[in-house]
Chain A
């Protein structure tokens, strides 16, 4: 492990924590605009997080140790997963860092603990949220595996760092494959971050909540950690999509100017993508639970197509 890599770890973690709340509020802003409202300020999520950090944590008397460790485990798993997706600077991979299978397992670990915490306090809403989350993830995870397998086939590597390095240096493989990958990854983002056709992130209504149901019992700084980890997860997935499809700007050498430019470009690109997500969400209604597989089947279909093309031609 060299100095470059240590610096990478620090920079990436700082950047992802600093920018990810911005994108959450940006999506809210875009949705508000499409509904003809003013919407909260783009810094609202930062204020909410700071407020929550100051508040006291209250545990239900029925809850066990799970409730206490979950926010930490989730945050840690997601932060490590975010380290696998270089945001501004692509170093040489060290050890297993950047392995796409490990990336997925880390996301699954976070999700597992979140579901456990939902069950832990014994509230019926939490249980419902966990049960829904697990049923959805048992359908989406095979799809995610296939999408990532398609990525691995296209770039001929399992390492996300190498994929980014390839897409920065030699340009993308071919535009037609990229369109298909882009659609698949977009659907994965929508599902993984509990966005509208799957889950409505804005309501605490019994009928619709999945992600909110699981974190209903969290309070104070634990809630802040959960919300931040959801934001970080979204940013990491968005960066994965963006840096594969529009890789310009991301730097492979460690210079201050390069990193600043990459950071600005990252914020711009992610803002555009959040705009697209916001408009997509506003133009759709939430799907019925049992119709969700048709959304996943779309991602599955496109990524299998990529694999067919890549393997047989």
Chain B
């Protein structure tokens, strides 16, 4: 068994990696790198799960690591990368309500808020001082940061990525605090894969924004009919 202190140190470094990737996903305008950073974030989660497994020896964590690796590091980024090749947009520079800088500042405030709230809730329990407290704070923060990406971006594909990163937050929170049953984790991941496949099917309109998606769909219909006529 590896020394506990070393594992705790490694997990802290991985926490930092997660924060960095989350900040990058919020603030970047380059779509290609968002996907790879998302894959990196999921990989960090896999590493955290493995580290926790070496600490606790619970077999569920190992299963979570394997399933996460297969689905979120390999399959989902691959699907999204294929979509991106099809729709040929490289940058996402349109934002609703918040620009990246403001979102970063707001997410900072959110983190502080969550930290204080959770510190109140966990006051006096043994979990307050440990790694698990940080994990919980980070999990909820990642969730909210993903939510912010989802509502501040205009492109549908980045909205999906925000949602995925939100789910990463749920997974992180689940790993550290609540011990979600494995079956639920598994179902969530299946949901995600179906979501991404649906996104792939809808990729006709995915480079549009949600507002003019209908318009564009109609236009494509007209185009197809007029091509069939001759």
Q: Mark A residues whose CB is within 8 Å of B.
A: 174-176, 179-180, 183, 293-294, 297-298, 300-302, 304-305, 308, 312
> Considering the chains assembled together, what is the distance between the CA atoms of A8 and B215 in angstroms?
72
Chain A positions within 8 Å of B58 at CB level:
none
A297 touches B16 (CB 8 A): no
Chain A positions within 8 Å of B99 at CB level:
294
Tell me the minimal C-beta distance from B194 to chain A in angstroms.
34
Chain B positions within 8 Å of A180 at CB level:
16, 19
B101 touches A293 (CB 8 A): yes
> Considering the chains assembled together, what is the distance between the CA atoms of A301 and B105 in angstroms?
7
Looking at chain A's contact residues, the main secondary structure is helix
Tell me the minimal C-beta distance from B112 to chain A in angstroms.
6
Known A-B contacts A294-B100, A298-B27; A308 and B112 likewise in contact (beta carbons under 8 Å):
yes
B12 touches A175 (CB 8 A): yes
Known A-B contacts A180-B16, A293-B101, A305-B111; A298 and B9 likewise in contact (beta carbons under 8 Å):
no
B108 touches A305 (CB 8 A): yes
27 A-B pairs with C-beta separation under 8 A: A174-B9, A176-B12, A179-B13, A179-B16, A179-B20, A180-B19, A183-B20, A294-B27, A294-B100, A294-B104, A297-B27, A297-B100, A297-B101, A297-B104, A298-B104, A300-B104, A301-B23, A301-B105, A301-B107, A302-B19, A302-B20, A302-B23, A304-B108, A305-B19, A305-B111, A308-B112, A308-B115
| B180 contacts the other chain (CB 8 A) | no
| B7 contacts the other chain (CB 8 A) | no
> Considering the chains assembled together, what is the distance between the CA atoms of A175 and B11 in angstroms?
11
Give the nearest-CB partner of B24 in chain A: A298
| B15 contacts the other chain (CB 8 A) | yes
B12 touches A312 (CB 8 A): no
Chain A positions within 8 Å of B27 at CB level:
294, 297-298
